[in-house]
Structure 1
Amino acid sequence: MFNGSVNSGTNGRSEEFLDKGLNTASNSSDSLLTIDEVQKTLNRSRASVYRYTNTDTRNLNPPFNPRKLNTEFRSDQKDQLLFHPNEVARFAKDILRIKEVTVEILNSPSSETQNILNAILDELRIIRNKLDGQSDKNHSIPNHLQDPDKKAA
């Protein structure tokens, strides 16, 4: 999630930076923002967000440009543009001159997938503990083998 407020230094009014939760699947793009979310976040038109974006028709992933809104890595030209919340905050503060930018990323509520993964992790820990206990038994030498006075038959 991406919550916070932005105070504009030019006219002194307070704008709502973003007051919404991101309900996406649990994967690497959990906390990434789409063009629509950036548009609402920055309170700008869709066209101006595209104009701010660091894209190039000849280069799928152009190098970082501090004067532009930089996207996350894309593997295909057809992939949607995704933005990290910190990049959006940096752009709002440094380029758009919006002061007091606050980025807060909250943990999303537990999903069924997350609950299943936690249960699997607990089971794996139990199995690991049992295997560690067995390996300790296998490595211990019985006392009758440790007695140096006994002769082999």
Structure 2
Amino acid sequence: MAKAAAAIEGSAEGAANSSEQSENLIGIDEVQRSLNRSRASVYRYTNTDPRNLNPPFNPRKLNPEYRSDQKEPLMFHPNEVARFARDVLRIKEVTVEVLNSPSTATQQLLGSILDELRSIRELLDASNISPTTLDSRRDQHEQERPAA
């Protein structure tokens, strides 16, 4: 039978928390390609209501993720697309594929900050200074400074 693949762009580190999961959502175009359906039919499958921004879950429809504004684009979790393809469209083989997105300037900056923090951690571990010694040094430093 047909094979559906929902391709998503993920962060290089993967989706460990909810803020990263929001980056792993897919838009209507990716859903259209993965289900091999027309854009109009994808909209017909989608659980939307003009009077209710976030209608309750409907197992016979493709349920988008939570939206805070009517103007926000419809976004779907890849597992929801796979569930819909398997349970409603009766597509036997469903593959959800996670692709790493190209590195952005923000990701590169965060990576360099992480590398810097790791090197600081290694230096601190190598110096064998206990936290009590650091506390006493801070107290000593504060006593040496004159009051303003």
TM-score (norm 1): 0.67
Name the CA shift for 1:40/1:111 in 2 (closer, same or farther; >3 Å).
same
RMSD across aligned C-alpha pairs, in angstroms? 3.1
Specify every segment of 5 or more residues in structure 1 that has no aligned partner in the other structure, as ranges: 1-6, 9-14, 141-153
Aligned length: 126
The amino acid of 2:133's aligned partner reads: K
What residue in structure 2 maps to residue 43 of structure 1?
36
Structure having greater relative contact order (Cα 8 Å, sep ≥ 6): 2
What residue in structure 2 maps to residue 90 of structure 1?
83
For 1:105 and 1:23, the matched residues in 2 are separated by 6
Asked whether 1:116 is paired with 2:109, we answer yes
Deviation at 1:46, TM superposition (A): 1.3
Q: Percent identity?
A: 63
What residue in structure 2 maps to residue 133 of structure 1?
129
State the secondary structure of the residue aligned to 1:104.
strand
CA contact (8 A) 2:6 2:81 kept: no
Name the CA shift for 1:20/1:53 in 2 (closer, same or farther; >3 Å).
closer
TM-score (norm 2): 0.69
Specify every segment of 5 or more residues in structure 2 that has no aligned partner in the other structure, as ranges: 12-19, 137-148
What residue in structure 2 maps to residue 149 of structure 1?
none
Name the CA shift for 1:83/1:21 in 2 (closer, same or farther; >3 Å).
closer
Deviation at 1:22, TM superposition (A): 4.0
The runs of at least 4 aligned residues of structure 1 exceeding 6 Å deviation read: none
Query: In the TM superposition, what are the counterparts of 1:1-153 in structure 2 within 5 Å?
Result: 7-8=1-2, 15=3, 17-18=4-5, 22=9, 29-127=22-120, 130=124, 133=129, 135-138=131-134
Deviation at 1:135, TM superposition (A): 2.6
Structure with the bigger percentage of helix: 2
